[in-house]
Structure 1
Amino acid sequence: MRGIQGRFTLTEGANLQNSQQIAFLRQMQKELKQENSLNVPLEKMSAVVFDIETTGFYPEHGDEIISIGAVKVRNGEMVEDEVFYSLVQYTQELPEEIASLTGITSTDLKNAEPLSEILLRFFDFVKNDTLVAHHAIHEKNFLQNASWKLFRTPFKHRIVDTSFLYRIADPDLGLTRLEDLCIHNDIEVIERHHALGDAKLAAKLWCAYIEKTKQLGCRTLSDVYERLARK
């Protein structure tokens, strides 16, 4: 996918169905190379670990994305200076419990850019990399919903859940929360419930479990899926 700078101009207050945005996103999807990441060694797989904060859990019932954070992983290590973060415009009053949890205010969101613009920049940041998320079904549901609602195109990126690795490396641990798994792996928990902070925690967790699964003979995603299928 080519960089978005200079490719088109977005007008302030553009309609969510802006034809330029839709055409551009569809072109990006066509250019997306479906690299067979299944057989790439996990430590060599180019990944973007990401997290979203939302107003609730159900995009089909009107819940919305309010922030996106992401960080790249290369050669099995998090790349600290290759990050993405943005608030997302939300014109309603943010639920009090969400504001308290995330530290985001309704004023912050009213002054932010629309989701359509943020997603175009996010997809350009991701390019052909494999997406990774903790409890990825949440992120996948919202991105699928937004991609179709805003651009009338399906969401085509692969998203890998961190649980795929820790279910193999620590099958009897019984932990699922991001902070608990980080503590178990001696990862300092900071900036919890901030999209970029959580993305960095998930990236460190992903890297830690790459090493653990390698030691158990799972070197690729294909190996991981085969091992999980036998459970």
Structure 2
Amino acid sequence: MGFEPFIHFMREMHGKLNASIFGGAQGMSSQQIAYLRQLQRELDVERALNVPLCELDVVVLDLETTGFFPNKGDEILSIGAVKVEKGEMIEAKSFYSLVRYEGTLKKEIKEITGINEEMVKNAPSLSDVLIDFFSFAGDMPIVAHHANHEKNFLQHVSWKLFRSPLKHRIIDTSFLYRIADKKNDNKPLEEWCLDNNIVVENRHHALGDAKLTAKLWCTYVKKVQKSGCETLRDVYERIAAK
């Protein structure tokens, strides 16, 4: 049973999953939880390792959040993503949603993201948005800039809401520029973009940042291939050898 039945199953569980974003998998039977876990296990995460980078289809993701620590109560405010197919960003294949949040946002979060309480109080629930995002992403690897942020939040909410570990492969853009540029500078996204002649716009908007990251990814795919890395497996092996 593949990824589409997994999405269909999660949609069938809509009412129970949406009962409370704080309720984890409340209302789901142990059999249902086990079934969902099994479907997640069937994601073919290994296939991506051997596909030529120029042919590797990925989903580039960015999250705007209330802070940096999901295990300490920080939450997702918006999710933006865009697909890269055969080395090119497909702008028409994009995803964006605000996420319901009923608390008070810190002033600096509102200033940075442009998101305020009015915008998110009636937004879709996190479980609804995640189901839509996973349906959009399918079994594609997920790319993010400074990906630990996205990885930590997705792992946290996947377990909290669905009682299922996140099985998607998550790839950090740093994997590529560590090889192509032989450095691992912890620079913000806009500096990497400017260094590569990518026009910076819609910064700190989840979809805007996803598109910038996608352009950066496409640029560095070409660079690392020139250095002799043809596949993601080659990238990992080159990094491990450093």
TM-score, normalised via structure 2 length: 0.88
Name the residue aligned to 1:93.
Answer: 104
Letter matched to residue 236 of structure 2: Y
Contact 1:35/1:128, CA 8 A, preserved across alignment: no
- The alpha carbon displacement at 1:95 in A equals 0.9
What SS does the corresponding residue of 2:108 show, helix, strand or coil?
helix
Aligned partner of 1:73 among 74, 78, 84: 84
- The alpha carbon displacement at 1:177 in A equals 1.3
Name the residue aligned to 2:19.
Answer: 14
Name the residue aligned to 2:169.
Answer: 158
- The alpha carbon displacement at 1:14 in A equals 2.4
CA distance in 2, matches of 1:109, 1:4: 26
Aligned pairs, number? 231
Judged with a 3 Å threshold, the aligned counterparts in structure 2 of structure 1 residues 11 and 154 are, in CA distance, closer, same or farther, namely closer
Post-superposition CA distance 1:202-231 (Å, at most 9, x none): 000000000000100011111111111122
- The alpha carbon displacement at 1:33 in A equals 2.9
Judged with a 3 Å threshold, the aligned counterparts in structure 2 of structure 1 residues 194 and 229 are, in CA distance, closer, same or farther, namely same
Letter matched to residue 20 of structure 2: N
Letter matched to residue 127 of structure 2: S
CA distance in 2, matches of 1:28, 1:194: 32
Map 1:148-227 onto structure 2 (within 5 A): 148-172=159-183, 174=185, 176-227=187-238
CA distance in 1, matches of 2:135, 2:72: 28
State the superposition RMSD in angstroms. Answer: 2.3
Query: Which 4+ residue blocks in structure 1 deviate beyond 6 angstroms?
Result: none
CA distance in 2, matches of 1:41, 1:67: 31
Aligned partner of 1:118 among 129, 137, 145: 129
CA distance in 2, matches of 1:98, 1:31: 37
Letter matched to residue 122 of structure 1: F
CA distance in 2, matches of 1:135, 1:11: 34
CA distance in 1, matches of 2:10, 2:64: 29
Q: Percent identity?
A: 55
- The alpha carbon displacement at 1:175 in A equals 5.5
CA distance in 2, matches of 1:89, 1:200: 23
Judged with a 3 Å threshold, the aligned counterparts in structure 2 of structure 1 residues 144 and 7 are, in CA distance, closer, same or farther, namely closer
Judged with a 3 Å threshold, the aligned counterparts in structure 2 of structure 1 residues 27 and 122 are, in CA distance, closer, same or farther, namely farther
Gaps of 5+ in 1: none
- The alpha carbon displacement at 1:29 in A equals 1.8
Name the residue aligned to 2:240.
Answer: 229
Letter matched to residue 100 of structure 1: E
Judged with a 3 Å threshold, the aligned counterparts in structure 2 of structure 1 residues 6 and 66 are, in CA distance, closer, same or farther, namely closer
What SS does the corresponding residue of 1:224 show, helix, strand or coil?
helix
- The alpha carbon displacement at 1:31 in A equals 4.7
- The alpha carbon displacement at 1:11 in A equals 4.8
